[in-house]
């Protein structure tokens, strides 16, 4: 079985490596030192757009929105490499981000054209965002309280969102709201809320222990008026289930990418630990060698799971189990890699200015985002014994 990525993927990974070494790692270290995200007007973002990065998968053609064979795998390989250099900077790259999958899966052609086509232009960096989480609703997405009610042709949204990546710099945010809280997940709908919408405001960049290069932002919607044309998935009852399923589909597409990013960070931690151990003459100790090798082994297993999930997606086969498996496994290995590095570094790590220490802080979030490890394990265990995915 030859698992070598194809030539175009290897070229893309090579370009990511050059960009990573020159820009991504230094910017990540700087953002961490300053304790704030890389600003949206940083010339690096304009340069990325000139290079043709930060675009959309939406092509506008008859197969619009569909990935070609091999694309999911290529996406993982590039995400892993960029995250090797700095995962926070990788997420700050311009592009529609997590907002793209729901527009592709739930949006009409007209909506895809309106919201995604501008990402093909190279005039300026653009961002999109995705806001599901609320101060009172994280893992249990059924608990979202942001409400949506119709008024004439428009919708009025009210509520608070938190931790939405790149939200304050985004041209639009896909906001999940409920049309009827008593219907739990069945009441969910997704709206594209455009920058400047009346009632959209109070943007506040959250403090984070790691991944400081990209903003995770809370904001509020106060009697926020959204045109009817910005509702994704249509108006009437057929759309009720589609709302929730659309969100879950988005995650099946992106969880293996998060896992691949974690693998990249784990590789960085392993390389740093090896370099430190070599310099300090620690590699003569069999216990050190054994623990370092265990990390390499487990990172390879995690990567294979990611690739399997991507292969299934590329071949239009269900990948929900593999997506969860990869997301459940990889962040734990990354954390183990960074923790071993901290152990080897001793007081040098404790000073707080070593890359390993930063990776140790960065790694934690990988277990939290897009469904925590616990939630993935819960879903997989339900599947193993034949229970439905949704306990409600
Ligand atoms: C860096 C970062 C970026 C993020 N980006 C985004 C974004 O762009 N958009 C967005 O909408 N959200 C985003 N989030 C939010 C993220 O999706 C939530 O933090 C996540 O869903 C967990 O929710 P919570 O933090 O409220 O934790 P909770 O759901 O309160 O969970 C707390 C703990 O309890 C555990 N737990 C919860 N329920 C169960 C259960 N039934 N059984 C066993 N254990 C359980 C969890 O695993 C966790 O360990 C981001 C978060 C972070 C940290």
**CA distance readout (Å), 391 to 69, 140, 373, 387:** 34, 11, 18, 8
The larger pLDDT score, comparing residue 209 to residue 58, is at 209
Q: Return the ligand 1 atom nearest residue 98 CA.
A: 8
The secondary structure of residue 63, as a DSSP letter, is T
Domains of the chain are 1-72+87-235 (2.40.110.10), 251-385 (1.20.140.10)
Residue of the CA atom closest to atom 26 of ligand 1: 138
Catalytic site residues? 370
Q: How far is CA 58 from the centre of its chain?
A: 18
Element (H, E) at 289: helix 286-314
Residue of the CA atom closest to atom 16 of ligand 1: 369
Tokens of 323: 């997506």
**CA distance readout (Å), 269 to 66, 285, 294, 347:** 35, 19, 13, 17
3-state secondary structure of 114: helix
Q: To test the ligand 1 pocket, which listed residue (133, 176, 208) has its Cβ within 8 A of the most ligand atoms?
A: 133
pLDDT of residue 243: 59
pLDDT one-digit tens code per residue, 1-24: 888 999 999 999 999 999 999 999
Mean pLDDT calculated for residue range 144-170: 97
Mean pLDDT calculated for residue range 222-232: 97
pLDDT over 70 percentage in the chain: 92
pTM higher than 0.85: yes
Residue 336 to residue 255: CA distance in whole angstroms: 20
């Amino acid at each position: 079985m030859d698992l070598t990525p194809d030539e175009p993927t290897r070229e893309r990974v090579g370009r990511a490596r050059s960009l990573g070494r020159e820009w991504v790692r230094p910017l990540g270290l700087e953002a961490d030192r300053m304790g704030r995200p890389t600003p949206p007007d940083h010339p690096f973002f304009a340069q990325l757009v000139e290079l043709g990065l930060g675009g959309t998968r939406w092509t506008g053609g008859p197969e619009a929105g569909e990935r070609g064979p091999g694309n999911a795998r290529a996406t993982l390989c590039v995400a892993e490499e960029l995250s090797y250099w700095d995962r926070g900077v990788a997420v700050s790259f311009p592009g529609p981000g997590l907002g793209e999958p729901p527009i592709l899966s739930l949006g009409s052609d007209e909506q895809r054209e309106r919201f995604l086509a501008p990402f093909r232009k190279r005039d300026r960096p653009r961002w999109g965002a995705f806001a599901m989480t609320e101060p009172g609703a994280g893992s249990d997405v059924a608990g979202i309280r942001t409400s949506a009610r119709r008024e004439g042709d428009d919708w009025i949204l009210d509520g608070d969102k938190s931790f939405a990546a790149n939200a304050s710099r985004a041209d639009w945010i896909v906001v999940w709201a409920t049309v009827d809280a008593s219907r739990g997940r069945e009441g969910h709908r997704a709206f594209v809320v455009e920058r400047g919408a009346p009632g959209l405001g109070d943007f506040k960049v959250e403090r984070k222990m790691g991944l400081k290069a990209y903003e995770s932002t809370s904001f509020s919607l106060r009697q926020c008026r959204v045109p009817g044309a910005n509702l994704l998935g249509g108006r009437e009852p057929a759309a009720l289930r589609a709302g929730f399923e659309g969100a879950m589909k988005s995650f099946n597409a992106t969880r293996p990418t998060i896992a691949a990013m974690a693998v990249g960070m784990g590789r960085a931690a392993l390389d740093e630990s090896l370099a430190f151990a070599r310099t300090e003459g620690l590699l003569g100790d069999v216990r050190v060698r054994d623990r370092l090798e265990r990390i390499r082994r487990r990172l390879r297993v995690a990567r294979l799971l990611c690739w399997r999930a991507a292969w299934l997606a590329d071949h239009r086969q269900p990948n929900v189990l593999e997506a969860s498996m990869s997301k459940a496994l990889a962040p734990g290995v990354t954390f183990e890699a960074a923790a071993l590095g901290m152990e080897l570094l001793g007081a040098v790590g404790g000073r707080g200015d070593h890359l390993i220490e930063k990776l140790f802080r960065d790694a934690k979030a990988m277990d939290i985002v897009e469904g925590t490890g616990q939630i993935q394990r819960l879903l997989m265990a339900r599947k193993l014994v034949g229970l439905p995915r949704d306990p409600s």
